Structure 1
Amino acid sequence: MTRTTKLALAALLSSTVLATPAAMAQTETHPETGETLAEDQTFTYRMLDDVSSLDPQIVEDVNGSDIVRNLFEGLMNQAADGTLVPGVATDYEVSDDNLTYTFTLRDDAVWSNGDPVTAGDFVFAWRRAAAPETASPYQWFVELMSIENAAAIIAGDMEPEELGVRAVDDKTFEVTLSTPLPYFPQMTTHSTTFPAPQSVIEEHGASWTQPENMVSNGAYTLSEFNPGERIVLERNENYWDNENTILDRVVALIINDENVALTRYQAGELDRTEVPAGQFPRLKEEYPEEAVSFPRLCNYYYTFNLSESGPEAFKDPNVRKALALAIDRDIITENVKAGGEPPAYTFTPEAVAGFTPPTTEMAEMTQAERDEMARELLAEAGYGEDNPLSFDMIYNTSESHEKIAVVMSQMWKQKLGVQANLANMEWKVFLDTRGQQDFEMARGAWCGDYNEASTFLDLLQSDSGYNDGKYANEEYDALLAEAKTAEDTSPLYTEAEQIIAEDMPVIPIYHYAGVYMLDSDVGNWPVDNVEQNWYAKDLYKIAE
């Protein structure tokens, strides 16, 4: 991709008419599509909450990862359809035993301060992610990548320097795995694996992610960070592919109310916002070119606290299954959400590549049959009119989350006589509360870190960093361990889903769709990428 700036300028200079800068900008066209580009190349979108962090090795939320993906660049990127394309690495080689990956880094990759990006920057970042003292929420991801010695380092039994990564030279990064992992390259698009500037982090400590301190290597730099309000990114003139970047500026506005965000979108203040629950049919009719819905690699569920601090009632799988059965998912997906989200009866979404989730017993029943079984199971567990079940249920602040929680609690009350006490929390408080097992039932959602079923199923492994309910099943763990080296993982993943359906450590509610209001002047939004890893450098604004 090349921009037409120089050609347009040459044409204008050869003209006898004196043109203004604005007129020159209007003559620019997209080099591939021929569309006339807008003079103002700013993309503005809405986020629900503050980001958890802007540190690649600390960030743990989707919104934060979107920002970090535009500030930093890892070994590999994704194209608009989700396929792998070069990032900092131009290519890689794999050893015959599939245990050693050797990445060749591009010569023109530099940090925003002009320093070269080296293999040592990746070594530092990956060791940092694994080191216990970093306390990365995604520390477990390094072990999940099967990197040699990761498990021992995370456990504190080995030093980070023993991690299976090394800089062969400044432009050659080598990774050694403990077991072959066919989807390993896909995992290098995740923010945890992005390089980190060691000297900057050592100089500024935790404040290195402030705009005045941050040094990044992605297509954009951080120019403004006002928690609770906005994050602004500006084009990184030192980025290796800056010549082919079209968007100049990215603005993320934090707007907690979905309806306020929609109003601001309709007023022209936003280029993208989520559709409020239940409003997609109306908006699709009114704005057929702007209201969009497409499959996403994400699930929406509620998790039981099965740790020692959890309620005794939830230790009984009959109670958990009864609560799961009584939820009419069709009402939630068709009436509450109404954005094309499919109801979920498995933990893994159908959108996952190469895996078809099994049909569960619950999915084949009518809702009346589910309700009847729910009443029977709850009675068997000893709960009823004389001994009503009551528990607390938390979710992070959002009108959509609230509506779903209210509907679920009403279904349980009307069908089973169960009392669910609802409480909402600000995002970071919610994450901490859930992560510390200081809850009884909590909302959960997960968007795949890579397009393979294990990115969901691994969440319920007993030692997973995001197993917030502390579910533990040895048979389940053994299946996932076996899948790491299996040629055909499908039967193992199917059996794992069947265990989830029987034990019900979580209640799958629905699988996500990307339900947006997306301005028609935004070009190249990756609707075909179910992971929704978007790169601002690949977007552009079309002249209206």
Structure 2
Amino acid sequence: MKKNVFVAMSSILVLGAALAGCGGGNQAAPADNNAAGNKTETTAPAAGPKVLKLNLHSEPPTADPGIAEDTTSSTIITATFEGLTRVGKDNKVHEAAAESYTVSEDGKKYTFKIRDAKWSNGDPVTAKDFEFAWKRALDPKTASNYAYQLYYVKGAEAFNKGTGKVEDVGVKALDDKTLEVELTNPTPFFLELVAFKTYFPVHQKTVEANDKWATDAKTIVGNGPFKMETWEHKSKLVVVKNENYWDKDNVKLDKIEFSMVEDENTELSMFENGELDWAGAPTSALPTDAIPALKESGKMTTQPIAGTYFYRFNTEKAPFNNAKIRKAFAYAIDRQSLIDNILQAGQLPATGYVPPSMALNKDGYFKDKDLETAKKLLEEGMKEAGISKLPTLTLSYNTSEGHKKIAEAIQDQWKKNLGVDVKLENKEWKVYLDDVHQGKYQVARAGWLGDFNDPINFLEMFKEKDGGNNDTRWENPKYKELLNQSALETDPEKRKAILAEAEQILMDEMPVMPIYFYTQSWVKNDKVDGVIIDGLGAVDYKYADIKQ
């Protein structure tokens, strides 16, 4: 996700994604018709349809894997599409749309054998669907903010930036069942990457026939365990079991019904009244006021995940075009008090950007609530900027009780500690994302959950000023050089040192202000089983079940 994360109550565990069958030039063992690597279970006939009722909190901006950038959209896409690999019940990556693969001795060429599978409309899934999807996401005309995730593929970056040709991109369907991928450099986490949504296939005829295909249940054609049945925008979304899915025997649910209620208190009431089977993360959030009682009751589950909650600064707009002023604002907040008094779910204060499970500097890069340094930096920064007083500033966040409370607390801290007046601005999720991408903000709330288990995933989003998920308008030549250097370094410790130097630059210039590392908390009906929430915070309902 990954992703822009919309939920508030959400720090830190490694995925531990051991890859099934990875090896130089050796044929991977075919899956046993079960992508989770578990034996197929047989169950007695259910008394009735198995329907899981959830709340999605916000309207998904899209169901298109090629342009999706947020956790809300990802939840729906993971249910309705599938990549070459998929994370299974054991939190390991297994073959999915690909039934097997080989890897060249130099680690730069992957050859995937596509299994016999169908799209939800009955058409066969082919290697050409993957080639089309990847090149489409890279096409500048598609304007995918996640196109950079494909830059590990040879020629991908050049094509996306308009300096290379599409035919030079290293992905090619040799025939309907064989996909060949050539990488720029060996990428140890590549099999984890292809389980990510930007690498999912799309149905070419559907995409080319209607540019609005991914916003209407009637026109969405997927290859995942579920298919879209209903999408009543800003109200309700329903997916049902996909009878054409290759592994349908391991899909236990008949239907998932998602409501879209933004108020967390209403959501919790719906859960308590039996209208929902689940409340809270990962698709929404629990009311902050209810957390102590839920924790005390033993009903709440909390899981640390590899993610960071932070604020972005618009570095092209005064006063945050000055690094010292940005750092002053970052140093002037009390993160621990936010956790103790608002969040209350085991989060950790963030004094670095990369989460602890993949930390490059376990001690962080600055002190929490360093008021003396904050005031000194603010004075120096204002002198450099030629101003004697800061105007009223605007802090933007998307609709959520948790985001609102955190923003109010930070607003109060900045007033007390720096004497700065801050106006709060709340927007609906899709509008909020659009405005942030267009630079219509001064300070804006953000969250990032790992797409794969490597620090580069957190650092690469700030590599370029115009990068798809940057939005700070910040760029640093040395930072960029270090990230490029890390891609060529094969020694793990040396590579870690290079990335740590890059994170130091990020924290020295502070285009983003880390606040805390995520945990996810939720309550659920005891009958709900098999929902996978991995160490990166991504959710998969493929194996979910309702015990009857």
Q: With structure 1 as the length reference, what TM-score do the two structures score? A: 0.88
CA–CA distance in structure 2, aligned partners of residues 503 and 161 of structure 1: 39
Q: Which residue of 2 aligns with 1:401?
A: 403
Q: Retained in 1: the 8 A contact 2:449–2:537?
A: no
Deviation (angstroms), 1:279: 2.8
On the 8 A contact 2:115/2:177 being kept in 1, the answer is: yes
2:294 aligned counterpart, secondary structure? helix
The answer to whether 1:541 aligns with 2:543 is no
Question: Closer, same or farther in 2 for the Cα pair 1:152/1:285, shift >3 Å?
Answer: same
CA contact (8 A) 1:224 1:230 kept: yes
Query: Partner residue of 1:75?
Result: 84
**Per-residue deviation, 1:293:** 0.7
Could you tell me how far apart the structure 1 residues matched to 2:154 and 2:390 are? Answer: 51
Question: Which residue is equivalent to 1:4?
Answer: 42
What does residue range 81-480 of structure 1 map to in structure 2 within 5 Å?
81-107=90-116, 109-143=117-151, 146-207=152-213, 209-274=215-280, 275-286=286-297, 288=298, 290-307=299-316, 310-311=317-318, 313-352=319-358, 355-363=359-367, 367=369, 370-382=370-382, 387-463=389-465, 464-480=467-483
Superposition CA RMSD, Å: 1.9
1:53 corresponds to = 62
Deviation at 1:387, TM superposition (A): 2.0
Output one character per residue of 1:318-359: Cα deviation in whole Å (capped at 9) or x when no partner: 21111111110011111111111111111111133xx44341
- Is 2:53–2:275's contact at 8 Å kept on the other side of the alignment? yes
State the SS of the aligned residue for 2:257: strand
Rg (Cα) greater in structure: 1
Query: 5+ residue gaps in structure 1?
Result: 9-23, 27-38
Counterpart mapping for 1:6-21 below 5 A? 8=44
1:532 match: 537
Residue 97 of structure 1 aligns to a residue whose secondary structure is coil
Please list every run of 5 or more consecutive structure 2 residues that lacks an aligned counterpart in the other structure: 1-38, 281-285
Deviation at 1:441, TM superposition (A): 1.1
Q: CA deviation at 1:162?
A: 2.8
Question: Aligned partners of 2:89 and 2:328: how far apart in 1?
Answer: 42
CA separation of 1:208 and 1:397: change in aligned 2, threshold 3 A: closer
In the alignment, is the contact (CA less than 8 A) between 2:360 and 2:497 conserved in 1?
no
Query: What is the one-letter code of the residue matched to 1:130?
Result: L
Change beyond 3 A, Cα 1:177–1:447: same
Shift of 1:450: 1.0
Distance (Å, rounded) in 2 between the aligned partners of 1:515 and 1:75: 30
- The Cα of 1:40 is off from its aligned counterpart by 4.0
Deviates more, 1:151-160 or 1:428-437: 151-160
Deviations 1:73-101 (A, max 9, x none): 11000023431011111221111121111
Once the two structures are TM-superposed, the CA of residue 123 in structure 1 deviates from its matched residue by 0.6
CA offsets 1:2-39 (integer angstroms, 9 cap, x no match): 3535xx4xxxxxxxxxxxxxxx535xxxxxxxxxxxx4
d(CA) in 2 for partners of 1:385 and 1:132?
40
AA in 2 matched with 1:152 = A
The amino acid across from 1:541 in the alignment is I
Which structure has more relative contact order (CA 8 Å, sep 6+)? It is 2
Q: Which residue matches 2:23?
A: none
SS for the counterpart of 1:92 is strand
Distance 1:389 1:405 in 2: 18
Tell me the amino acid that sits aligned with residue 82 of structure 1. N
* SS in structure 2 at match of 1:376: helix
Q: CA deviation at 1:510?
A: 0.6
Letter paired with 2:79: N
Distance 1:519 1:424, change over 3 A: same
SS in 2 for 1:315: coil
Q: Is the 8 A contact 1:128 1:160 kept in 2?
A: no
- Identity percentage of aligned residues: 35
| CA contact 1:91–1:104 (8 Å) conserved in 2 | yes
What SS does the corresponding residue of 1:490 show, helix, strand or coil? helix
Following superposition, the deviation at residue 48 of structure 1 comes to: 2.1
In structure 2, give the amino acid aligned to 1:394: S
Amino acid at match of 1:482: Q
Could you tell me how far apart the structure 1 residues matched to 2:537 and 2:504 are? 28
DSSP-derived class of the 2:307 partner: strand
AA of the residue aligned to 2:71: V
Equivalent-residue separation in structure 1 for 2:168 and 2:379 (angstroms): 54
Task: Please report how far the alpha carbon of residue 246 of structure 1 lies from its aligned counterpart in structure 2 after TM superposition.
Answer: 0.6
SS in 2 for 1:65: helix
Which residue of structure 1 aligns with residue 9 of structure 2?
Answer: none
Q: Tell me the amino acid that sits aligned with residue 338 of structure 1.
A: Q
SS in 1 for 2:397: strand
- Name the SS for the 1:538 alignment partner: coil
C-alpha distance in structure 2 between counterparts of 1:490 and 1:345, whole Å: 18
Query: CA shift at 1:200, angstroms?
Result: 1.8
CA contact (8 A) 2:382 2:388 kept: no
Amino acid paired to 2:115: R
The count of corresponding residues between Structure 1 and Structure 2 is: 499
Kept in 1: contact 2:65–2:202 (CA 8 A): yes
- 8 Å contact kept, 1:343–1:511: yes
Report the TM-score when normalising by structure 2. Answer: 0.87
Residues of 2 paired with 1:332 and 1:208: CA distance? 38
State the Cα deviation string for residues 275-332 of structure 1 (Å, max 9, x = none): 222432211222x1x311111122111111112xx11x21222211111111100111
Asked whether the 8 Å contact 1:358–1:494 carries over to 2, the reply is no
